[in-house]
Amino acid sequence: MSEWTIKKALEWTEGYLADKGDENPRLSAQWLLSEACGLSRTQLFVNFDRLLSEDERGVLRDYVRRRGAGEPLQYITGEVAFRHINVKVRPGVLIPRPETEVLVSEVLAALPTPGPRDVAWNPEAAEQEREAVAAVKKALEEAGESASLSVGGDLGRPSAANDDDADAAAEPSDAAEDSSVGGDLGRPSSAGMDETRKSLLVADLCTGSGCIACSLAYEHPDVRVIATDVAPEAVALAKENTEALGLADRVAVLQCSLGSGIGEKRMGTFDAVVSNPPYVPTAVMAGIPREVADFEPTLALDGGADGLDLFRPLAQWAARALKPGGVLACELYEGHMDAARAVAEQAGFVDVHIVDDLTGRPRVLVAKR
């Protein structure tokens, strides 16, 4: 094309991808052009006559070549929407699916709803606060400045220069396990007051991109998560997503197999264990779409002969890790849910039930400890 308008670029891309066997070439064309031009899909439709720059044309050509070769759109654009957040994705890590959003819903439904903080007066902290305010007033008087600070005013934060230090002291971040997220898990005290808010500890095993862990922490202010994955690529990406979403102080990511890297002192303290483990039976792997088989990691898909190779040790670990009444929720293969139920019950779980995914297929096992 000598003149690449958005309209012509969309038409050409759709036709090219249709010839390459794309199942939804129109949607793919819109996604790729939106990403190449930095426009939303709605903005594309109201700017049909806008010319593409040389840089945009070059980016689009590369995107179309990759999509024509079967590469998933999410890997090309580098992110995917999941529930109320957007997470980064890249080759080597499983792409989050809409079906997995049901898994998050089930965990949130099983956890206590966020409650108000219980606040209690702390006389010792209050005395320290009064002494600090008095010291500031004295310093200001000696410097010849007016001292208008009073208890209940700035409460010992006399200048903006000290804001960062005060914030750091008030909200210390949790480092990696085992000296970390599993540390105190409660919010620290404010001056003169003890604030306690029950933190809910969740383990997300086989976290992948971290979409489950991040969604739980994002949607429930009392949730703290220890997320694990055996693949270094997944661990690195999950950490990036926790940081990008501002959740690094409530989600710690560890590289280990299942819960093996979580210390013994955590056993019996978890409110929930959640996982989307590899669960596709090996025999079924041969029939999965080429787009998945050729680009997404087999390690994150193949669950062994019956798809339960990882679920068996996972259920045993969860039975030890959960506190009484805690919930186990796992996404599993639709054809082997009866076998999965038996595994959970043998591990000591009760109230085992199966939840359908968004397509109406049995997908999520939920059980109580």
Please indicate if the annotation marks 188 as binding a ligand.
no
Cis? peptide before 178, omega within 30° of 0:
yes
Distance set, CA 312 to CA 24, 271, 330, 344 (Å):
38, 20, 11, 8
Cα separation, 291 vs 276, in Å, equals 20
Joined together, the tokens standing for residue 361 give: 């297929």
Local structure of residue 368 (DSSP, 8 states) = E
User: Parallel, antiparallel, or unpaired for β 223-229 and 200-205?
Assistant: parallel
Please indicate if the annotation marks 163 as binding a ligand.
no
Please indicate if the annotation marks 302 as binding a ligand.
no
Please indicate if the annotation marks 172 as binding a ligand.
no
Local structure of residue 96 (DSSP, 8 states) = P
Please indicate if the annotation marks 25 as binding a ligand.
no
Cα separation, 257 vs 228, in Å, equals 7
Cα separation, 240 vs 87, in Å, equals 9
Local structure of residue 280 (DSSP, 8 states) = B
**What's the first-to-final CA gap in the chain, in angstroms?**
63
Cα separation, 63 vs 35, in Å, equals 9
Determine contact, residues 204/226, Cβ cutoff 8 Å. Answer: yes
Residues at the binding site are 229, 276-279
Residues at the binding site for S-adenosyl-L-methionine are 229, 276
Residues at the binding site for substrate are 276-279
